[in-house]
Amino acid sequence: MWSYFANPDRFDHLARRALPICAGVSFLLFAIGLPWALIFSPPDYQQSESVRIMYVHVPAAWLAMFAYAGLGASSFVYFVWRHNVADVAAQAIAPLGAAFAFLCLVTGSLWGKPMWGAWWVWDARLTSMLVLFLLYLGYMALRGAIEDEKLAARSAAILAMAGLVNLPIIKFSVDWWNSLHQAASVFRFDGPTIDASQLWPLLIMALAFTFLYLTLTLMRMRTVIVEKRAASLERRLEAQGVNL
């Protein structure tokens, strides 16, 4: 099954059709979710209007983790079966995941100051999320630092897979240790502890973020494939003695 998608041409064909759909769905969901979350949803009984930061913070955090799962999975497929499209996916996902992690950290900090009374604390949840951000940066730095492309891809894949261990730590950090960060409100065994009038806009925003992520991933993957082709063409021409 993997080899079916491993063909860059077949991928390109698929991506070209999936792209406008993902982009359209994302736009539609943002058009509903943004006004609902930022204007029409009720204020919180304790946080009042500051609760609206949550509608960006929580989807950003989810997507940062979801993207990392994608980075780990594509690194795994590339490392074991050496399918190039999987490596392209990993390469495309890394900066997007980093951006989501960064957005999560910044919005969290903006919320923390008025609510907790501190921009930043070294509790387990915040620290493990910072580690996730640094893992993304480390992945990109490692890829950029090694000249040999195949070696760079393999080394970065190992780093990405090892970093997967951080995902359950982020998720359960608030249960395993006393932390300042609150426990989970949505994905918990006894059901959400967030009112439906706030849960729905949150879920719409999360879906909008997800489709935005898919759109950007496909776009970046296509770009990376074209870049690789251009580079290999250049090399071939240079080998033939053509001066560029």
Asked if 54 interacts with other proteins (CB under 8 A), we say yes
Output the CA–CA distances (angstroms, integers) from residue 4 to 14, 85, 86, 133, in the order listed.
11, 10, 12, 32
Pick from 25, 38, 194, 224 the residue near other proteins by CB under 8 A: 194
Closest CA to 91 of 234, 226, 194: 226
Which residues ranging from 28 to 47 are in contact with other proteins (CB under 8 A)? 42-47
Least distance (Å) from other proteins to the CB of residue 68?
15
Output the CA–CA distances (angstroms, integers) from residue 91 to 72, 106, 191, 195, 224, in the order listed.
11, 24, 36, 38, 8
Pick from 25, 34, 167, 169 the residue near other proteins by CB under 8 A: 169
Total residues belonging to the chain = 244
Asked if 27 interacts with other proteins (CB under 8 A), we say no
Cβ count within 10 A of residue 46: 8
Contact pattern for other proteins over residues 85 through 114, marking x by CB under 8 A? -----------------------------x
Residue number with CB closer to other proteins (162 or 231): 162
Identity (one letter) of the amino acid at 98? A
Asked if 182 interacts with other proteins (CB under 8 A), we say yes
Residues in contact with 140: Cβ distance below 8 Å, sequence separation at least 6, in sequence order: 94, 95, 98
Stretch that binds other proteins, among 31-39, 86-94, 187-195, 216-224 (CB under 8 A): 187-195
Query: Contact residues for other proteins (CB under 8 A)?
Result: 42-47, 51, 54, 76, 79-82, 114-118, 121-124, 161-162, 165, 169, 176-180, 182-185, 188, 190-195, 197-198
